[in-house]
């Protein structure tokens, strides 16, 4: 049978979707009792490049405007017909956008067909309003969303930057209307980001939203009181973002290629430049994950440019740009008349905040661990969807009644769960536990974070995992891995793993309340009660089997050390005890295993002493 893509179908009447209409990328999301999620496009893509290609003489009707990735792919070849960054023109007069024009490859005119005198776009002999172009993007996103719903999608919440004025907000509303959407609310992007984290439901707080996207940087200081947001100040730079980091790499590559070719400067054709820019972006993204990345470019005629760029080299290029964003933060704080210490929470937004350096810098500037649990490229759309759910009176997420609704823990050896924070604890709360490695010389440990009341991994809900690597090789059981769980006042879980001997660290942040309905939570609790006895036995068996592995390995090791210096009768006794234990291990008879294990452990005490004596003799 052919595989058909099966998709959840939401049956709600008149759904309200959330749209992040971005300068670089746009996204659509939806929120129900399970919390917000991104709705993906036909190729499962989560974001739609905010690019529209216009064909003024279309070969067929409806081929007039092409939106998203196909349009972006044409940006080089058909520069004057491909509209990007249209958000920069929304609701603006020509004079307002004059400084932008140098960056836009298409023609901008004041001959707006709506007669408003606002800036419009000229393609061939036709003129388009920025609203029309934005409407094409909104229509595309509505089309992405529609297959998720049984009923027509007609309503949307759309986000705009906090500094957008009335004209810009109105232009955004008009774009929605042109796309056939009723814009039920225009929400500030930083407010949406805070909503995505559910900060409207936590205590009164002052929040900084640091948004570093592709072409823009925004810092907003918000105050939330009794669920209502107020913008205290905004600052930023409309010409600072990830594109500049790409440019920095591009400039480095260009100058090195020039040097290699022994010329002072090379003029690459635009298509080559565009390719190099893509390339530079890939290197940048790779450096968010790895300490170095390799660049290799074929220069033709058998020549090749190849070098590896380290994170440190890259940082040297962009450090001043990040410092500039922090200066803006200072300014915003001053305008709001507060100090960094008065900021309770920092929310990270925008693809460029994936960069570990940015997270570190922002974290130390505000002296708090910034929120990164939600994908920074998606968080604004998620928040728009949350606003939609609030307006539709959907009871989103598990209601946080100031307590942890389900236990939180990690996977341990053999598929059992060690609970660090148990259900019902009041928030904020924290827990610490020391673990170790199970293999000799193990240098990496996977930390799998789970939620639920059951004893086995397979019956709990996986919240995510990460790897603590860079542990210096040590004997099994020697590393001290401290795993720390922290649930803050907003219910956000931070998991940190530290190897205490070496200080290596790794961390993960999660919003544990997303993905489950209240009914599912209740169901999970009921299941744990129903299965309490079997679960306890299963967990006990796993622990016993782990103990068997550990103890028999220790005995084997001691036997090797002692060698022939052992009384043959004692050796036979130990071997038979080990055989018994190993034979019982796969059975379900926990008591029998326990008895055999205890017998073996008692008998092997003398062997342990022999091994120590032997080791000391051999010194």
Binding residues for ligand ADP (CB under 6 A): 22-25, 213-216, 241-243, 281, 284-285, 288, 350-352, 354-355, 377
| Residue 409 interacting partner from ligand ADP, Mg ion, none (CB closer than 5 to 8 Å by kind) | none
Q: What is the 3-state secondary structure (H, E, C) of 463-496?
A: EEEEEEECCCCCCCCCCCEEEEEEECCCCCEEEE
Size of site (CB under 5 A) for Mg ion: 2
CA dist., res. 534 & res. 455, Å (int): 9
Catalytic residue among 32, 87, 237, 281: 87
Closest distance to ligand ADP from the beta carbon of 222 (Å): 18
By beta-carbon proximity to ligand ADP, the closer residue of 92 and 454 is 92
Catalytic residue among 20, 66, 200, 344: 20
Residue 290 CB burial class (10 angstroms; 0-12, 13-18, ≥19)? exposed
By beta-carbon proximity to Mg ion, the closer residue of 378 and 453 is 378
Closest distance to Mg ion from the beta carbon of 24 (Å): 7
Those residues whose C-beta lies under 8 Å from the C-beta of residue 330, and which sit 6 or more positions away, are: none
What are 389's two structure tokens?
């759910």
Residue 20 among the catalytic residues: yes
By beta-carbon proximity to ligand ADP, the closer residue of 174 and 243 is 243
Residue 63 CB burial class (10 angstroms; 0-12, 13-18, ≥19)? exposed
Site string for Mg ion, 159-198 (x = CB under 5 A): ----------------------------------------
List helix spans (H) across 127-269: 130-145, 166-178, 189-196, 242-260
By beta-carbon proximity to ligand ADP, the closer residue of 50 and 552 is 50
What are 236's two structure tokens?
């930023």
Closest distance to ligand ADP from the beta carbon of 464 (Å): 17
Residue 582 CB burial class (10 angstroms; 0-12, 13-18, ≥19)? middle
By beta-carbon proximity to ligand ADP, the closer residue of 134 and 216 is 216
| Residue 217 interacting partner from Mg ion, ligand ADP, none (CB closer than 5 to 8 Å by kind) | none
Within 13 A of 351's CA, how many CA atoms are on the CB side? 24
Contact 418, 410 (CB under 8 A): yes
By beta-carbon proximity to ligand ADP, the closer residue of 118 and 288 is 288
Beta strands in 243-336 (DSSP E): 292-300, 303-310
Residue 301 CB burial class (10 angstroms; 0-12, 13-18, ≥19)? exposed
By beta-carbon proximity to ligand ADP, the closer residue of 50 and 254 is 50
| Residue 604 interacting partner from Mg ion, ligand ADP, none (CB closer than 5 to 8 Å by kind) | none
| Residue 460 interacting partner from Mg ion, ligand ADP, none (CB closer than 5 to 8 Å by kind) | none
Residue 87 among the catalytic residues: yes
Closest distance to ligand ADP from the beta carbon of 352 (Å): 5
| Residue 168 interacting partner from ligand ADP, Mg ion, none (CB closer than 5 to 8 Å by kind) | none
Residue 211 among the catalytic residues: yes
Closest distance to ligand ADP from the beta carbon of 356 (Å): 9
What are 489's two structure tokens?
């006042």
Site string for Mg ion, 213-232 (x = CB under 5 A): x-------------------
Catalytic residue among 32, 132, 140, 189: 189
> Whose CA is closest to 24, among 421, 341, 319, 350?
350
Segment (H or E) for 519: helix 518-530
List helix spans (H) across 370-482: 379-391
Catalytic residue among 66, 211, 281, 499: 211
Site string for Mg ion, 12-31 (x = CB under 5 A): ----------x---------
Closest distance to Mg ion from the beta carbon of 138 (Å): 15
Closest distance to ligand ADP from the beta carbon of 363 (Å): 17
Closest distance to ligand ADP from the beta carbon of 246 (Å): 7
What are 36's two structure tokens?
């917000």
Strands 345-349 and 205-212: parallel
357-362 contacts, C-beta under 8 A, 24 or more apart: 357/311, 357/315, 357/318, 357/322, 358/212, 358/322, 361/322, 361/326, 362/210, 362/326, 362/329
By beta-carbon proximity to ligand ADP, the closer residue of 22 and 409 is 22
Q: Which residues are identified as catalytic?
A: 20, 87, 189, 211
Binding-site ranges for Mg ion (CB under 5 A): 22, 213
């Amino acid at each position: 049978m052919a595989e058909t893509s099966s998709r959840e179908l939401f049956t709600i009447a008149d759904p309200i979707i959330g749209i992040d209409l971005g300068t670089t990328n746009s996204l659509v999301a939806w929120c129900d009792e399970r919390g917000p999620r991104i709705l993906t496009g036909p190729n499962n893509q989560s974001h739609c490049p905010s690019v529209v290609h216009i064909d003024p003489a279309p070969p067929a009707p409806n081929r007039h405007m092409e939106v998203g990735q196909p349009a972006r792919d044409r940006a080089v070849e058909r520069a004057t017909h491909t509209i990007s960054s249209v958000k920069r023109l929304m609701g603006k007069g020509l004079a307002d956008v004059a400084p932008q024009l140098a960056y836009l490859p298409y023609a901008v005119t004041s001959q707006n067909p709506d007669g408003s005198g606002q800036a419009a776009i000229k393609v061939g002999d036709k003129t388009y309003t920025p609203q029309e172009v934005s409407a094409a993007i909104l229509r595309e996103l509505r089309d992405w969303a529609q297959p998720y719903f049984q009923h027509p999608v007609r309503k949307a919440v759309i986000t705009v930057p906090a500094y957008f004025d009335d004209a810009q907000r109105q232009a955004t509303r008009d774009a929605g209307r042109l796309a056939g959407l009723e814009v039920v609310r225009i929400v500030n992007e930083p407010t949406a980001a805070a909503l995505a984290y559910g900060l409207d439901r936590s205590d009164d707080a002052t929040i900084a939203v640091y948004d570093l996207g592709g072409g823009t940087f925004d810092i907003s200081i918000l105050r939330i009181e009794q669920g209502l947001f107020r913008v205290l100040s905004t600052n930023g730079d409309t010409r600072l973002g990830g594109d500049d980091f790409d440019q920095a790499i591009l400039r480095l590559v260009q100058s090195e290629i020039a040097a290699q070719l022994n010329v002072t400067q090379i003029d690459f054709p635009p298509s080559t430049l565009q390719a190099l820019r893509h390339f530079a972006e890939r290197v940048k993204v790779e450096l968010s994950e790895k300490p170095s990345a390799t660049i290799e470019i074929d220069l033709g005629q058998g020549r090749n440019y190849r070098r590896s760029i380290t994170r440190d080299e890259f940082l040297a290029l962009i450090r001043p740009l990040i410092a500039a964003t922090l200066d803006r933060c200072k300014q915003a704080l001053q305008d709001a008349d507060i100090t960094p210490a008065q900021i309770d929470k920092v929310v990270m937004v925008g693809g460029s905040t994936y960069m570990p350096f940015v997270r570190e810098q922002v974290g130390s500037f505000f002296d708090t661990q910034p929120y990164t649990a939600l994908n920074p490229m998606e968080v604004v759309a998620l928040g728009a969807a949350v606003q939609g759910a609030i307006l539709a009176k959907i009871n989103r997420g598990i209601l946080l009644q100031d307590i942890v609704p389900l236990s939180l823990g990690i996977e341990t050896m053999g598929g059992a769960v060690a609970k660090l924070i148990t259900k019902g604890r009041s928030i904020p709360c924290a827990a610490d536990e020391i673990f170790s490695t199970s293999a000799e010389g193990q240098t990496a440990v996977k930390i799998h974070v789970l939620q639920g009341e059951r004893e086995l991994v397979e019956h709990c809900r996986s919240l995510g995992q990460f790897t603590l690597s860079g542990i210096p090789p040590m004997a099994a059981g020697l590393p001290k891995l401290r795993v720390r769980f922290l649930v803050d006042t907003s219910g956000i879980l931070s998991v940190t793993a530290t190897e205490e001997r070496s200080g290596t660290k790794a961390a993960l942040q999660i919003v544990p309340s997303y993905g489950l309905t209240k009914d599912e939570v209740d169901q999970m609790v009921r299941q744990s009660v129903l299965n309490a006895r079997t679960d306890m036995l299963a967990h006990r068996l796993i622990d016993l089997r782990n103990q068997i592995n550990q103890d028999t390995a220790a005995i084997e090791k001691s036997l090797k050390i002692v060698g022939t210096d052992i009384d043959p009768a004692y050796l036979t006794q130990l071997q038979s005890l080990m055989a018994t234990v190993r034979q019982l291990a796969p059975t379900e008879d926990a008591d029998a295993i326990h008895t055999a294990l205890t017998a073996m452990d008692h008998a092997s005490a003398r062997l342990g002493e022999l091994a120590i004596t032997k080791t000391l003799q051999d010194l």
